Chains A and B, each alone.
Chain A
Amino acid sequence: GGIITQTPKFLIGQEGQKLTLKCQQNFNHDTMYWYRQDSGKGLRLIYYSITENDLQKGDLSEGYDASREKKSSFSLTVTSAQKNEMAVFLCASSLGGGQLYFGEGSKLTVL
């Protein structure tokens, strides 16, 4: 089996700061995703990538950048952290068919 590893698990930043989350997968999946999870609001798609160097915006992409320099890694940058962005960010990968494999999440706190 494979695994999705997200780092860091907890990230604390200051308002206005640029913050980066990293994700690694060893499934050898082509597609990777970044979701944001807010309490009571489900999972909302920020960015996804169908192959190395490809980037596609989701519904929540404003205020975020992403990078897919290698097939196995996908990073997400919060360009200017705001207090209302305190949430859990989930990375996932997939071969298709609707089955996504998620990491354990990175919890962002903005002071």
Chain B
Amino acid sequence: GDSVTQKQGQVTLSEDDFLFINCTYSTTTYPTLLWYVQYLGQGPQLLLKVTTANNKGISRGFEATYDKGTTSFHLQKASVQESDSAVYFCALVDLTSGSWQLIFGSGTQLTVMP
């Protein structure tokens, strides 16, 4: 079945550092890939969505792209701020069930030091 793997459990950066988080996916259909962000004490919220139609998503200074050849998708930001500290989840839309289900990665805890 469809799956997604997110190996970076924790990332610690300083303000203005470059952020790069990677996930790999497996699906037999055209992928719809998403990034969710979860701030402390809140539920996850959609950050970016990437499909085969747009190949790239940009929001709040974050950019998401995917590579069909390596079946991977990435989240990057040129210059992180302390306020970006949160857990970032990649997710794959699973259409095999006939409804919009998401398969989530295990999350990357980003800590940005001032």
Binding site for B on A (CB under 8 A): 4, 31, 35, 40-45, 48, 50, 56, 58, 90, 92, 94, 96-105
Contacts and interface: CB of A to CB of B under 8 A. Distances in A.
Given A97-B100, A98-B34, A105 B106 contact: no
Contacts of A105: 43
Contacts of B100: 31, 94, 96-98
A100 B46 contact: yes
B47 to A, nearest CB: 11
Given A98-B34, A103-B43, A42 B99 contact: no
B107 to A, nearest CB: 5
Interface of B: 6, 9, 32, 34, 41-46, 49, 89, 91, 93, 97, 99-102, 104-107
B54 to A, nearest CB: 13
B43 A40 contact: no
Contacts of B49: 97-99
B46 A43 contact: no
A104 B42 contact: yes
Nearest to A97: B100
A96 B97 CA distance: 13
Contact of A40 (B42, B99, B107): B107
A98 B30 CA distance: 14
Nearest to B41: A104
A59 to B, nearest CB: 9
B89 A42 contact: yes
Contacts of A42: 6, 89, 104-107
A45 B101 contact: yes
Contacts of B105: 42
A104 B44 CA distance: 8
Contact of B89 (A31, A43, A48, A97): A43
Contact of A102 (B43, B93, B106): B43
